Chains A and B, each alone.
Chain A
């Protein structure tokens, strides 16, 4: 099994029928892994801890029905030893406490991951009102955006494998 996350979770074997196509894009696969690390485990996490990032990622994976990917992020979350409040985030049914910072982060994450077209300026203002700095808003958007990419690469590869 491949060492990179998307190929592993799509069930692609390096020696299988899709191995050659993926070998031709080995640079892209390596860069994809690097973006995962930058979005989930940055050296400077700003106001979004590694545990919170992993918990949000598990939440978004679950919202997309990607249970194996959610398990990957739950493992990262456990590694990062998040607080109880951070761990709660991984459950899509949890919406946060009234009008707090986490509630704002969750509302934004659920919107951007599942209905990005409906995002408006007021959604950014809500994060600012909840106390997020502009750099943290960009970090949160990047995390969501990266996950949308990763989830679709896995979904696409899985379909390719099934029809190879």
Chain B
């Protein structure tokens, strides 16, 4: 059994559930539909199989997630990932941070931003626009939210328009949700190499 990973990393871990995933062989038609299981696609992660225990929420959350992270216009994809990482750092979701830091790195071809964030956490020094985005995401992710007028003004001063700010609010808030599933219902564990 692999050990639990506690430090932030861009190496995507495995995820070990703390509750029982739905067994595909016993899944209801509604669960199979929400899981998008077809004869040619039977690969479903343990994480999604855990969420299938609440199929009504899963069914509506998946399209919401995709719309917030990938729909057209507004904030760049990389900056939405930065918002997701800000939330994941506050909530210490090592798995979420790994996935979304990796996506950020793929999109920007620049690993230094995530290196700084993983090393210095909320205090990471970034360029002005990234700093405003990261700081807003971090403060919105506190409970209760600590984001204030100055943080909003910093976004506007960094050149974000209303559509971009809205997308940042949505991506950071969405990870308040994702972190509370991924970090609560399972553990990130070292990936077992098939070799």
Contacts and interface: CB of A to CB of B under 8 A. Distances in A.
A and B are partners in one complex rather than unrelated chains: yes
Interface of A: 17-18, 20-22, 24-25, 27-28, 31-32, 34-35, 37-39, 42-44, 46, 63-66, 112-117, 119, 121, 123-124, 134-135, 137-139, 141-142, 144-146, 148-153, 155-157, 159-160, 162-164
Given A145-B180, A152-B176, A137 B19 contact: yes
Q: 9 closest pairs, A vs B, by CB?
A: A156-B169, A152-B173, A117-B92, A145-B180, A148-B176, A138-B53, A149-B177, A21-B162, A134-B19
B165 interface: yes
Contacts of B74: 24-25
Interface of B is mostly: helix
A28 B68 contact: yes
Interface of B: 18-20, 50-51, 53-54, 56-57, 59-61, 63-64, 67-68, 71, 73-74, 90-93, 140-141, 143-145, 147-149, 151-153, 156, 162-163, 165-170, 172-174, 176-181, 183-185, 187
Contact of B57 (A113, A146, A151, A164): A146
A138 B50 contact: yes
B169 A160 contact: yes
A5 to B, nearest CB: 14
B170 A28 contact: yes
B68 to A, nearest CB: 6
Contacts of B61: 35, 38, 142
Contacts, number: 174
Nearest to A128: B19
Nearest to B182: A145
A117 B90 contact: yes
Contact of B180 (A44, A141, A159): A141
A159 B68 contact: no
B166 A22 contact: yes
Nearest to A114: B143
Nearest to A161: B152
A32 B177 CA distance: 12
B22 to A, nearest CB: 9
Contacts of B93: 116-117
Given A117-B91, A159-B152, A142 B64 contact: no
Nearest to B153: A163
21 contacts: A17-B162, A21-B163, A24-B163, A25-B167, A28-B68, A34-B64, A35-B57, A38-B59, A64-B145, A112-B180, A116-B180, A121-B187, A137-B53, A141-B180, A141-B185, A148-B176, A152-B176, A159-B148, A160-B162, A162-B149, A163-B152
